[in-house]
Chains A and B, each alone.
Chain A
């Protein structure tokens, strides 16, 4: 099976930066995804990494190190609306399936 680990909860202050780590041990690697999920809603796509390095998209950035089996999602200039669960997912094989971590709940305090 696939093993994807991320912290359960994180708390940060409005305007601050938070880094959510994800480590994975999978049978193969064909890409890593980050999703955001607000309470009671569906996950929405945030970012995709398949090569090593940093991908930046506005206030959100995602980093990947394939050799270390490691990724992080960086949320800058935190806003109250960023309070949500953040899901790390890996495509391990060529059959278009994703394996998800359990998610990290981020709470932004005023």
Chain B
């Protein structure tokens, strides 16, 4: 257990509404990641963070923004949700001092945009 929680676990929303997903970790890891997972595409990186207020884009960042104002929380925001953003969203951490750079995943958030 890497001490990662995600909230909410399930959400249904309507097109055009803003949505914020939260990833919370309890072990002060520096690196945190947001992925989406869709059938046939596997896990795709949306954004990642390498410290408080330090973030960068992944391969599918359009339509998403992130914020990290404190070490333990990494927020993913969909400013105006679209049906193409219906997906399962996973947060991950890379333990500080890891010799293998292994990432560990939170339980996921299933988001449906109608």
Contact = CB atoms under 8 A, between A and B. Distances in A.
Interface of A: 1, 30-31, 33, 41-45, 48, 50, 87, 89, 91, 95-103
Interface of B: 31, 33, 40-45, 48, 50, 56, 58-59, 90, 94, 100-108
A96 B31 contact: yes
A45 B101 CA distance: 11
A50 to B, nearest CB: 8
Chain B contact residues, majority secondary structure: strand
Contacts of B105: 42-44
Contact of B42 (A31, A45, A101): A101
Contact of A97 (B45, B102, B108): B45
Contact of B50 (A41, A48, A96, A101): A96
Given A96-B50, A96-B101, A100-B44, A42 B90 contact: yes
Contact of A45 (B45, B102, B108): B102
B101 A87 contact: no
